[in-house]
């Protein structure tokens, strides 16, 4: 532990990148001294962050987009989110609070985009970064509201609606032959607002067979009528990349494509309807120089529909309820052809009284397969002790249905299991938010998650193939701390720390591929400047100690100047040139730099 103690000390001396703004709220006395921040994840309807019963964080993207190179850069600001990437900008697994990468649900505007074939593709978010307003992270169970996969938590990517006409282009060049171009166009015309966005990025790679090309594009339209708001999103992502060592000692190559469309329609003030379709394809070549030797092709489709309604019971209480239907299918040269359908009913009772007390209780019944069901209840509440201290607690049950790779995949080194049971977990947590002063806030959370039937690939010896199986019992206990401070009107600092301890039943004596590679300690220190003169700056120092590995620290610096139509920016990553691996045997790049210019032809309204 001594090397990690040294790393943590370095983080403490450096101090953090971004302080979470604390919102104002009629129900949160201390929050009146802070800027309003509204969250929509983990709650039936939007609420100020300070009024949330659950552990939720919100990260603004659009005002600071020049400081981010990817979605991963945003999530790295959260010490409870673990990203295990095979390469920046390509493919990565998301984990929250030590859960497996399959136990994190990814949403776009509240609509699930997790992949039915394999959770390795959940991070294929088919929306350019310029089209994003914010990203929210719900730590802990979210199955009552969102269904399968939300065991460790939820990541919600929220697209932006520009306040007026806007036209921007960006271009950047950097290390490893990196070449980036992007653009954003907003055209509001009367009751209709339309937005177009694209992003193109390519790299020759920091080593052989680690090149990649990304192309993402999206169109979004919003119409206001007497019925309510209509919102349509169409997007696509094309991502070919070299995959050397990704799944073994092979110079592999892979190409994934994603198409996503979503319709959200208000049906009056109390009812809304959502419909979405996602198609994903995956072409995997084991030996790049010999595709005929072994090639897999997978295609999966997911249809989703939801009808939700809100009924006000009293001036301080409401009932939210609805129904969902999901249909997914896969056609694969390896997995075969399969499909399944499921439906769910859910309800949530919410009460907020006396400007100090809130309580929410909900339940979900999901039906899948041949009449099989999963029940996912939750309860949460918070209480303002005084104008500075808020207590919160929650208890919930979550589940995950095995995906098609878990069930049916097979090759000489990996074998699926068609008899896998759904994963289930019960999570308990308690927290305290302490507004020490107008500029200083502390938040702490303790939690425990008890898992049953977790799915992982295991083997009894190095010569045996990995086989998918259910673990009977696992448990994780952890703590989360965040200290946030506004030093001046333009400077914010934050320190986050998450500590985890996992344990398995005594009978578990086999080697696990994924479940026991979680970070036992993760610290993130950030310092951010948002100047009225147009300067944007952020430095992030992250230190991580992963189970069974050596600890390491990564230091990044991002700078931008936005006062005029020509806006230069600089992104520096891994300044200390640290050698590290987020996934075993898959090397990550060393020190890198990206230099770019944004041309704002029509700047957004203030």
Residue 547 contacts residue 518 (beta carbons within 8 Å): yes
pLDDT at 45: 87
Higher pLDDT, 115 or 35: 115
What is the mean pLDDT of the segment spanning 340-344? 96
pLDDT at 190: 84
pLDDT at 23: 36
Contacts for 18 with CB less than 8 Å, ≥ 6 apart: 59, 77, 492, 494, 526, 528, 538
Tell me the C-alpha distance between 402 and 47, whole Å: 33
* 414-415 and 466-486 beta bridge pairing: parallel
pLDDT at 416: 95
Among the listed ranges 5-9, 126-130, 415-419, which one has the minimum average pLDDT value? 5-9
Range of the domain at 439: 2-602
DSSP label at residue 551: -
Write out pLDDT tens, residues 58-71: 999 998 999 999 99
Residue 22 has pLDDT above 60, yes or no: no
Task: Look up residue 224 and give its two tokens.
Answer: 């206001």
- Secondary structure of residue 223 in the 3-state scheme: strand
Residue 476 contacts residue 82 (beta carbons within 8 Å): no
Among the listed ranges 218-222, 245-249, 257-261, which one has the minimum average pLDDT value? 245-249
Residue 112 has pLDDT above 50, yes or no: yes
Task: Look up residue 451 and give its two tokens.
Answer: 């898992």
Tell me the C-alpha distance between 546 and 525, whole Å: 18
Instruction: Please state, rounded to an integer, the average pLDDT across all residues of the chain.
Output: 90
Residue 193 has pLDDT above 80, yes or no: yes
* 372-384 and 357-368 beta bridge pairing: antiparallel
Q: How many domains does the chain have?
A: 1
From the list 130, 183, 181, 182, the residue with the least C-alpha distance to 157 is 130
Q: How confident is the model at residue 411 (pLDDT cuts 50, 70, 90)?
A: confident
pLDDT at 344: 97
What is the mean pLDDT of the segment spanning 385-393? 94
Write out pLDDT tens, residues 277-318: 999 999 999 999 999 999 999 999 999 999 999 999 999 999
Q: How confident is the model at residue 102 (pLDDT cuts 50, 70, 90)?
A: very high
Q: How confident is the model at residue 369 (pLDDT cuts 50, 70, 90)?
A: confident
Name the one residue in this structure whose structure tokens are 């919160």: 392
Q: How many helices (H) and strands (E) does the chain have?
A: 4, 36
- Secondary structure of residue 543 in the 3-state scheme: strand
Residue 344 contacts residue 366 (beta carbons within 8 Å): yes
Task: Look up residue 159 and give its two tokens.
Answer: 């697209």
The number of angstroms, rounded, from the C-alpha of 539 to the middle of its chain's C-alpha atoms is 21
pLDDT at 387: 86
Measured in residues, the chain has a length of 606
What is the mean pLDDT of the segment spanning 266-280? 96
pLDDT at 35: 54
What is the mean pLDDT of the segment spanning 220-233? 94
From the list 490, 313, 333, 346, the residue with the least C-alpha distance to 411 is 333
Among the listed ranges 17-31, 156-170, 209-223, 330-344, which one has the minimum average pLDDT value? 17-31
H/E segment holding residue 14: helix 2-14
Residue 16 has pLDDT above 60, yes or no: no
- Secondary structure of residue 80 in the 3-state scheme: coil
Contacts for 517 with CB less than 8 Å, ≥ 6 apart: 84, 546, 547, 548, 549, 584
DSSP label at residue 25: B
pLDDT at 12: 37
pLDDT at 505: 65
Please name every residue paired with 455 in a beta bridge, in sequence order, or none if there are none: 470
The number of angstroms, rounded, from the C-alpha of 71 to the middle of its chain's C-alpha atoms is 8
From the list 141, 56, 105, the residue with the least C-alpha distance to 450 is 141
Residue 454 has pLDDT above 50, yes or no: yes
Task: Look up residue 147 and give its two tokens.
Answer: 């269904």
H/E segment holding residue 450: strand 440-459
Q: How confident is the model at residue 8 (pLDDT cuts 50, 70, 90)?
A: very low
Tell me the C-alpha distance between 220 and 218, whole Å: 7
Task: Look up residue 124 and give its two tokens.
Answer: 């294929």
Residue 245 contacts residue 253 (beta carbons within 8 Å): no
pLDDT at 460: 81
What is the mean pLDDT of the segment spanning 586-601? 95
Residue 38 has pLDDT above 90, yes or no: no
How many Cβ atoms from other residues are within 10 Å of residue 72's Cβ? 17
Residue 174 contacts residue 572 (beta carbons within 8 Å): no
From the list 99, 450, 45, 286, the residue with the least C-alpha distance to 122 is 99
How many Cβ atoms from other residues are within 10 Å of residue 177's Cβ? 12
Write out pLDDT tens, residues 465-511: 889 999 888 999 999 999 999 999 899 999 999 999 998 765 454 68
Tell me the C-alpha distance between 398 and 451, whole Å: 9
pLDDT at 146: 96
pLDDT at 382: 95
Tell me the C-alpha distance between 306 and 327, whole Å: 12
Write out pLDDT tens, residues 117-171: 999 999 999 999 999 999 999 999 999 999 999 999 999 999 998 888 999 999 9
Query: For residue 373, what is the domain's CATH number?
Result: 2.40.170.20
pLDDT at 10: 39
Please name every residue paired with 598 in a beta bridge, in sequence order, or none if there are none: 170, 567
Residue 30 has pLDDT above 70, yes or no: no
H/E segment holding residue 277: strand 271-285
How many Cβ atoms from other residues are within 10 Å of residue 274's Cβ? 19
pLDDT at 36: 60
| Cα angle value 30/33/36 (rounded, 5°) | 95
What is the mean pLDDT of the segment spanning 575-586? 92
Residue 583 contacts residue 546 (beta carbons within 8 Å): no
- Secondary structure of residue 110 in the 3-state scheme: coil
Please state the three-class secondary structure of 129-178 as a single string: HHHEEEEEEEECCCHHHHCCCCCCEEEEEEECCCCCCEEEEEEEEEHHHE
Give me the percent of the chain exceeding a pLDDT of 70: 93
Residue 286 contacts residue 295 (beta carbons within 8 Å): yes
Tell me the C-alpha distance between 86 and 513, whole Å: 15
Task: Look up residue 157 and give its two tokens.
Answer: 């990517």
Output the pTM of the full model: 0.92
Give me the percent of the chain exceeding a pLDDT of 90: 77
Tell me the C-alpha distance between 157 and 41, whole Å: 10
Write out pLDDT tens, residues 171-192: 999 999 999 999 999 998 888 9
């Amino acid at each position: 532990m001594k090397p990690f103690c040294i790393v943590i000390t370095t983080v403490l001396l450096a101090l953090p990148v971004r302080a979470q703004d604390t919102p104002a709220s009629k129900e949160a006395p201390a929050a009146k001294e802070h800027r309003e921040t509204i969250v929509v994840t983990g709650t039936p309807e939007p609420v100020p962050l300070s009024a949330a019963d659950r552990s939720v964080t919100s990260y603004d993207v659009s005002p600071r987009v020049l400081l981010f190179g990817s979605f991963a850069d945003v999530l790295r600001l959260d010490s409870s989110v673990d990203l295990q990437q095979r390469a920046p900008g390509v493919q990565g697994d998301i984990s929250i609070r030590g859960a497996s990468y399959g136990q994190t649900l990814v949403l776009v505007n509240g609509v699930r985009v997790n992949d039915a074939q394999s959770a390795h593709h959940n991070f294929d978010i088919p929306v350019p970064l310029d089209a994003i307003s914010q990203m929210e992270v719900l730590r802990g169970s979210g199955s009552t509201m969102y269904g399968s996969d939300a065991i460790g938590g939820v990541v919600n990517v929220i697209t932006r609606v520009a306040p007026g006409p806007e036209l921007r282009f960006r271009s950047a060049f950097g290390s490893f032959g990196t070449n980036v171009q992007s653009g954003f166009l907003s055209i509001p015309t009367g009751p209709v607002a339309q937005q177009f966005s694209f992003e193109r990025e390519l790299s020759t790679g920091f080593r052989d067979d680690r090149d990649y090309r990304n192309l993402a594009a999206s169109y979004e339209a919003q119409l206001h009528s007497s019925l309510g708001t209509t919102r349509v999103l169409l997007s696509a992502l094309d991502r070919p990349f070299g995959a050397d060592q990704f799944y073994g000692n092979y110079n592999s190559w892979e190409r994934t494509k994603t198409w996503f469309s979503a319709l959200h329609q208000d049906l009056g003030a109390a009812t809304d309807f959502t419909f979405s379709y996602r198609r994903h394809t995956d072409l995997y070549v084991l030996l790049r120089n010999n595709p005929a030797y072994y090639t897999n092709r997978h295609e999966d489709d997911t249809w989703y529909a939801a009808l939700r309604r809100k009924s006000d019971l009293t001036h301080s209480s409401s009932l939210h309820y609805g129904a969902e239907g999901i249909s997914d299918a896969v056609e694969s040269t390896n997995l075969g052809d399969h499909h399944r359908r499921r439906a769910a009913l859910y309800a949530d009772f919410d009460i907020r009284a006396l400007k100090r007390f809130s309580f929410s209780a909900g339940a979900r019944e999901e039906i899948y397969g041949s009449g099989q069901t999963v029940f996912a209840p939750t309860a949460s509440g918070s209480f303002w002790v005084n104008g500075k201290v808020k207590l919160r607690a929650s208890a919930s049950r979550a589940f995950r249905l095995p995906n098609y790779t878990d069930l049916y995949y097979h090759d000489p080194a990996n074998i699926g299991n068609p008899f896998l049971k759904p994963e289930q977990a019960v999570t308990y947590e308690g927290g305290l938010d302490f507004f020490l002063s107008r500029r200083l806030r502390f938040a702490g959370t303790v939690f425990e998650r008890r898992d049953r039937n977790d799915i992982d690939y295991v083997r009894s010896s190095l010569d045996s193939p990995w086989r998918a199986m259910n673990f009977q019992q696992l448990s994780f206990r952890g703590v989360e701390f965040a200290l946030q401070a506004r030093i001046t009107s333009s400077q914010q600092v934050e320190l986050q720390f998450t500590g985890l301890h996992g344990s398995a039943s005594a009978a578990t004596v086999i080697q696990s591929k994924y479940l026991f590679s979680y970070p036992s300690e993760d610290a993130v220190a950030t310092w951010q400047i948002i100047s009225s003169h147009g300067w944007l700056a952020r430095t992030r120092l992250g230190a991580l100690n992963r189970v069974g590995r050596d600890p390491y620290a990564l230091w990044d610096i991002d700078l931008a100047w936005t006062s005029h139509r020509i806006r230069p920016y600089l992104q520096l990553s891994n300044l200390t040139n640290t050698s590290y691996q987020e996934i075993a045997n898959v090397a990550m790049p060393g020190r890198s730099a990206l230099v770019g210019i944004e041309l704002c032809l029509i700047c957004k309204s203030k």
